[in-house]
């Protein structure tokens, strides 16, 4: 076969293999143009005509020199190894904040969950607690109890604590004593129906307090010292960071909500982490009695200053022994002085007058 007959065959082979050439040298020194669109950059400098005996590695040299070749295409070169993660990711993302070690063997912390029960997430939270041998306190909204009454019963059966979060998540701090009592009594009725008793702990929604909330409900008022803001961020890493930023957690109360999937996911990491760091997860009442050695008192308020700074519980102000305007007790009405019997007359004379009690003398019978 003549050499000229091989030219069309070579051209077709080059197109089929996509090797990137768009010009071939003819034996007589001329060039055969291939009109198929090239994968090369149209503005790229044309290749020089090949020598009579091209180097054996000429095709690979051209591919390596091609600045627009896609390395992900078949036959392309592999991407170089990515840089070390620590060099390209902020440190806080590589090593997320971790809670500090417990300050002592008796370190305790109380997890609390508001706004439930949730038809799905409350049971998931209980699963996590049960798997880790932990307890928590749930402040439930009265009208939400029927969302998952079984989960509320399960919480108590596990040794967790159930408190009231009002009937309808009302801002109790803006209500009168009568309105507060009405709301809590309505909630108590549902709690009693579900659990057989009314809660003795109260967490006012929004942490909103007034004197009526603190001193007139007959409950122990519980707020918190660490707010994870899980309701705001709904972000697992930010929830964990809020706990880590709080420093030593001994004796503190952590506020969370049982109504968000992100809270559940954060809890999957947080509970074992706390236990690993030496904290025992207890109920609020256990924290007050076992860690602080105090009583859980009705009409006592246990808040930020108590759990964070170790201040005394806030109790109703004592009534002064002698108030500025003393209230006189109601005196029983004095009995009417019975009519004196008429003394018998002496020989028809008048009876002698009785002596006045003010004079100290006896009253005639």
Which residues are the active-site residues? Answer: 114, 257
Question: CA 163, CA 161: separation in Å to the nearest integer?
Answer: 7
Asked if 248 and 220 count as a contact pair (C-beta separation under 8 A), the reply is no
Task: Encode the chain in three state secondary structure.
Answer: CCHHHHHHHHHHHHHHHCCCCCEEECCCCCEEECCCCCCCCCCCCCCCCCCCCCCCCHHHHHHHHCCCCCCCCCCCCCCCCCCCHHHHCCHHHHCCCCCCCCCCCCCEEEEEEECCCCCCHHHHHHHHHHHCCCCCEEEECHHHHHHCHHHHHHHHHCCCEEEECCCCCCCHHHCCHHHHHHHHHHHHHHHHHHHCCCCCEECCHHHCCCHHHHHCCCCEEECCCEECCHHHHCCHHHHHHHHHHCCCCCCEEEEEECCCHHHHHHHHHHHHHHHHCCCEEECHHHHHHHHCCCCCCCCCEECHHHHHHCCCCECCCCCCCCCCCCCCCCCCCCCCCCCCCCCCCCCCCCCCCCCCHHHCCCCCC
Residue 199: Cβ within 10 Å count:
23
d(CA 224, CA 230) in angstroms, rounded, equals 14
End-to-end CA distance of the chain: 165
Distance CA 62, CA 41 (A): 13
- Cβ–Cβ under 8 Å, residues 112 and 203: yes
């Amino acid at each position: 076969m003549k050499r000229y007959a091989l030219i069309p065959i070579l051209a077709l082979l080059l197109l089929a293999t996509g090797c990137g050439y768009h010009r071939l040298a003819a034996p007589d020194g001329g060039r055969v143009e291939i009109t198929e669109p090239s994968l090369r950059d149209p503005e790229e400098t044309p290749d020089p005509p090949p020598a009579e005996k091209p180097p054996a590695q000429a095709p690979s040299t051209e591919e390596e020199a091609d600045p627009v070749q896609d390395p992900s295409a078949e036959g392309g070169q592999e991407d170089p190894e990515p840089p070390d993660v620590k060099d390209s990711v902020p440190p806080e993302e590589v090593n997320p904040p971790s809670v500090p070690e417990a300050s002592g063997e008796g370190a305790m912390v109380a997890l609390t969950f508001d706004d439930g029960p949730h038809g799905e997430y409350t049971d998931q939270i209980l699963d996590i607690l049960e798997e880790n041998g932990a307890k928590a306190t749930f402040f439930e909204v009265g009208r939400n109890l029927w969302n998952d009454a079984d989960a509320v019963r399960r919480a108590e059966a596990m040794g967790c604590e159930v408190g009231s979060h009002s009937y309808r998540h009302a801002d109790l701090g803006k209500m009168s004593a009568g309105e507060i009592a009405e709301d809590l009594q309505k909630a108590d009725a549902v709690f009693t129906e579900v659990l057989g008793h009314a809660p003795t702990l109260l967490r006012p929604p929004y942490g909103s307090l007034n004197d009526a909330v603190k001193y007139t409900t007959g409950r122990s008022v519980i707020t918190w010292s660490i707010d994870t803001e899980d309701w705001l961020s709904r972000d697992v890493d930010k929830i964990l960071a809020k706990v880590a930023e709080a420093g030593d957690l001994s004796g503190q109360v952590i506020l969370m909500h049982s109504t968000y999937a992100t809270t559940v996911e954060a809890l999957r990491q947080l509970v074992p982490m706390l236990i690993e760091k030496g904290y025992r997860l207890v109920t609020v009442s256990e924290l007050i009695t076992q860690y602080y050695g105090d009583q859980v008192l009705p009409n006592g308020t246990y808040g930020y200053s108590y759990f964070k700074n170790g201040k005394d519980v806030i109790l109703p102000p004592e009534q002064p022994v002698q108030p500025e305007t003393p209230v006189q007790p109601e005196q029983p009405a004095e009995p009417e002085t019975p009519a004196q019997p008429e003394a018998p007359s002496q020989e028809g004379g008048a009876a002698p007058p009785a002596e006045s009690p003010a004079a100290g003398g006896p009253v005639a019978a």
